[in-house]
């Protein structure tokens, strides 16, 4: 089986050598990583890359601490727990490697519905709850491992690890961007207790400011399009100004611009104007991302037509019928 590699004998004494060579270390070889990536692509993921599990580097920690020091996280106090944020071992004590998955979520049926929607819903929320979909698909890929599957449900600094794994680059709006997907993709992670074989050392990532300049150049389309001036143009965002925050975390919270632009759950404005998102990028044929009854009804302002079961298994359940009614009002 290509998961197992016997450690080389390099002990100095015969006694040490005997003890050392008797140990077989479970290692995820580069061949295994390639096979797992192939399996991921076959069931609809856009990418899977593996990295060694380490604490975020000093640059990210400084970047994130400035975000907190300037109170850009609004009243989301859980974001301030840097002890957990900066150490993946708090999520899985024995973690040695992380599998980083990317999955497109833009669906052609959703695009069709958005054209005539009375009220707007962020694209990721039209279908089945993506947490359920991605976790189920990751389990199929990682079925021979006792991995912890993480889908936007822990303090893991997801975009940091995705960037480190080479999944994408950070744009001016803080979104992760790929040439083939734009920013229309979701991240999910498999935390593993097995170490990985590192074939070659990745080049160090550029400073974040340099990466944004390289990715976006002089483009400020997202910054200028944001109706609430939530984007700071350096990869950070003032959460309290964000329409997504207002409509999901604080339903009914009065941000006039969300009413004006008719967003009732989430917001895609900064993604809509991004040049990387133009054209035929970020689409998936995954059935779970097709529009569901709840999204279709809300988009048409027919909230009262929905029954309790219509909300089950959708991201919209987070705001609930009462919250969405406040957003629509």
Active site members: 152
Nearest to 156 by CA among 106, 201, 210, 101: 101
Query: Mapping DSSP to helix (H, G, I), strand (E, B) and coil, where does residue 76 land?
Result: coil
Phi, psi of 202 (to 5 degrees): -65, 150
Provide the β-strand partners of residue 101.
48, 188
Which H/E stretch holds residue 104? strand 97-104
Residue-wise over 130-162: b if at least 16 C-beta within 10 A, else e?
Answer: bbebbbebbeebbeebebbbbbeebbbbbbbbb
Give the position of tokens 């150490």: 87
Burial of 110 (0-12, 13-18, 19+ CB in 10 A): buried
The answer to whether the CB of 292 falls within 8 A of the CB of 129 is no
Contacts of 183 (CB under 8 A, 6+ apart): 168, 171, 173, 175, 176, 177, 271, 274, 276, 277, 282
Query: Torsion over CA of 238, 76, 87 and 154, rounded to 10 degrees?
Result: -110
Q: Please state, in angstroms and rounded to a whole number, the distance separating the CA atoms of residues 278 and 60.
A: 29
């Amino acid at each position: 089986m290509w998961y197992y590699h016997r450690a080389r004998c390099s002990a100095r004494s015969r006694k040490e050598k005997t003890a050392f060579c008797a140990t077989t270390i479970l290692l995820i070889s580069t061949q295994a990583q390639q096979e797992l990536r192939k399996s991921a692509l076959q069931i609809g993921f856009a990418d899977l890359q593996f990295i060694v599990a380490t604490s975020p580097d000093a640059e990210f920690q400084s970047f994130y601490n400035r975000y907190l020091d300037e109170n850009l996280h609004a009243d989301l106090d859980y974001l301030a727990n840097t002890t957990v944020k900066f150490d993946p071992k708090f999520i899985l004590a024995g973690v040695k490697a992380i599998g980083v998955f990317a999955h497109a979520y833009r669906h052609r049926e959703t695009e069709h519905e958005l054209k005539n929607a009375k009220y707007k819903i962020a694209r990721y929320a039209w279908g089945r709850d993506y947490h359920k979909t991605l976790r189920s698909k990751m389990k199929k890929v990682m079925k021979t491992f006792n991995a912890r599957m993480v889908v936007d449900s822990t303090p893991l600094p997801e975009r940091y690890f995705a960037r480190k794994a080479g999944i994408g680059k950070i744009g001016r709006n803080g979104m992760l961007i790929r040439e083939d997907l734009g920013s229309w993709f979701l991240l999910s992670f498999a935390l593993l207790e097995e170490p990985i074989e590192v074939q070659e050392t990745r080049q160090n990532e550029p400073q974040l400011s340099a990466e944004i300049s390289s990715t976006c150049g002089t483009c400020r389309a997202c910054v200028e399009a944001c109706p609430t001036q939530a984007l700071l143009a350096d990869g950070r965002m003032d959460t309290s100004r964000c329409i997504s925050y207002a409509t999901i975390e604080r339903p009914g919270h009065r941000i006039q611009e969300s009413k004006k632009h008719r967003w009732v759950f989430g917001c895609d404005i900064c993604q809509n104007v991004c040049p990387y998102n133009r054209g035929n990028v970020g689409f998936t044929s995954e059935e779970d991302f097709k529009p569901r009854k709840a999204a279709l009804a809300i988009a048409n302002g027919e909230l009262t037509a929905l029954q309790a079961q219509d909300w089950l298994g959708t991201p919209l359940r987070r705001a609930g019928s009462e919250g969405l009614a406040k957003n629509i009002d």
